[in-house]
């Protein structure tokens, strides 16, 4: 296979000899928005991130394999990929652990009133809080029960939480007490003390968390979004925080980077991080392993046919 490898895969250089030994030809594109180093018809496979945001997939007439380095597929024209029967691989499992740890950290940060203590530390104030929510015993609803959602369920469960989920296809899973269907989302939200959003972004899920959904949540509930910003209606969230909700932790936003004049920055019930929940010290080795395994499987499948 003739592979175009983009610089988004930072570990590519260490594996080029192995990739060529599999029988693949390789061209390298340091920046995805740059001009192609080869003719489009040369390309049979692409390894990258947002490559098709800059290069229309229609120009690659011989394309048969795509590997993205993200878990989400919202930067890939999935409908065209499916129509043409192109093999599409993502980085499933690579970022699940760090993202799940981030979700637990966010819940604990809000519950344990970190902002209050940090302000007092800066001002040299000795002042105790007498009422602190406990994570153990809380009901956590995970919206999206894929690799990331399951990792969240396992970690919250390990903290003594009751964990339920909402998924397109309900299933039995030991990490969840129950997984509800999308049609039962309202019921699940009404049960939750903490809602963790890990869904993919598509036409069905855009603004899934809107005014109506937020009104179905408990007044004390926390919302944690570690998936994609447009899953949550920002204006509706701000309104709900003013009259309802116990707080929210956002790692992703409808506009990124978050504009300096966004009202989100100043809201006292918000914990904000700059799309960083996926970062972990072992991401690179996990990503390398996934990409090389998928390439090996692709080679075996091609050989068998």
Give 139-172 pLDDT, tens digit per residue: 999 999 999 999 999 999 999 999 999 999 999 9
Residues 162 and 176 in one domain: yes
For residue 56, tell me if it sits in a domain.
Answer: yes
* Assigned token pair, 246: 């116990």
Residues 50 and 188 in one domain: no
pLDDT tens per residue, range 229-241: 999 999 999 999 9
Residues 288 and 140 in one domain: no
For residue 205, tell me if it sits in a domain.
Answer: yes
For residue 204, tell me if it sits in a domain.
Answer: yes
275 is catalytic: yes
> Which position among 134, 204, 211, 256 bears the catalytic label?
256
Verdict on whether the full-model pTM lies above 0.85: yes
Alpha carbon dihedral 57, 59, 65, 70, in 10-degree steps, equals: -30
Residues 26 and 128 in one domain: no
256 is catalytic: yes
For residue 221, tell me if it sits in a domain.
Answer: yes
Number of domains in the chain: 2
Return d(Cα 246, Cα 180) in angstroms, integer: 24
Residues 22 and 165 in one domain: no
Residue 129, number of CB atoms within 10 A of its CB: 10
Residues 161 and 20 in one domain: no
Q: What is the pLDDT of residue 304?
A: 42
Boundaries of domain holding 127: 96-272
Residues 104 and 65 in one domain: no
Residues 58 and 170 in one domain: no
Q: Provide the CATH number for the domain around residue 101.
A: 3.40.50.720
Residue 178, number of CB atoms within 10 A of its CB: 15
DSSP of 20-74:
HHTT-EEEEESSTTSPPSS-GGG-SEEEESSGGGTS-GGG-TT--EEEESSS--T
Residues 18 and 81 in one domain: yes
pLDDT tens per residue, range 11-68: 999 999 999 999 999 999 999 999 999 999 999 999 999 999 999 999 999 999 999 9
> Which position among 155, 213, 228, 254 bears the catalytic label?
228
* Assigned token pair, 247: 């707080």
For residue 277, tell me if it sits in a domain.
Answer: no
The residues, ordered by sequence, that sit 6+ positions from 79 with a Cβ below 8 Å of its Cβ are none
Angle at 223 between CA 171 and CA 192, to 5 degrees: 50
55 is catalytic: no
Residues 7 and 84 in one domain: yes
- Cross-strand partners of 31: none
Residues 53 and 111 in one domain: no
Residues 218 and 235 in one domain: yes
What's the burial of 16, exposed, middle or buried (CB within 10 Å: 0-12/13-18/19+)?
A: middle
pLDDT tens per residue, range 179-204: 999 999 999 999 999 999 999 999 99
> Which position among 2, 113, 267, 275 bears the catalytic label?
275
Distance, C-alpha 65 to centroid of its chain: 22
């Amino acid at each position: 296979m003739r592979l175009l490898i983009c610089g988004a895969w930072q570990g590519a250089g260490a594996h080029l000899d192995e990739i060529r030994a599999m029988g693949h030809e390789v061209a390298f594109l340091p920046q995805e928005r740059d001009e192609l180093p080869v003719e489009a018809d040369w390309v049979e496979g692409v390894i990258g991130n947002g490559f098709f945001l800059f290069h229309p997939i229609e120009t690659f007439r011989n394309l048969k394999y795509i590997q993205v380095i993200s878990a989400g597929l919202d930067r890939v024209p999935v409908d065209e990929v499916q129509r043409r029967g192109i093999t599409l691989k993502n980085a499933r499992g690579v970022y699940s652990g760090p993202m799940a740890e981030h979700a637990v950290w966010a819940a604990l940060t809000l519950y344990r009133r970190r902002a209050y203590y940090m302000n007092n530390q800066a001002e040299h104030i000795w002042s105790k809080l007498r009422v602190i929510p406990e994570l153990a015993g809380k009901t956590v609803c995970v919206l999206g029960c894929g690799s990331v959602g399951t990792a969240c369920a396992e970690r919250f469960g390990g903290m003594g939480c009751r964990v339920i989920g909402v998924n397109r296809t309900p299933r039995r899973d030991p990490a969840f007490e129950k997984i509800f269907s999308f049609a039962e989302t309202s019921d699940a939200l009404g049960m939750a003390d903490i809602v963790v959003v890990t869904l993919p972004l598509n036409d069905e899920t855009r603004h899934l968390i809107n005014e109506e959904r937020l009104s179905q949540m408990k007044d004390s509930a926390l919302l944690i979004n570690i998936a994609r910003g447009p899953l949550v209606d920002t204006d509706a969230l701000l309104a709900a925080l003013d009259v309802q909700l116990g707080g929210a932790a956002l790692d992703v936003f409808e506009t990124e980077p978050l504009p300096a004049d966004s009202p989100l920055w100043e809201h006292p019930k918000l914990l904000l991080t700059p799309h960083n929940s996926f970062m972990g010290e072992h991401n690179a080795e996990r990503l390398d392993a996934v990409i090389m395994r998928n390439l090996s499987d692709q080679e075996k499948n091609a050989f068998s046919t």
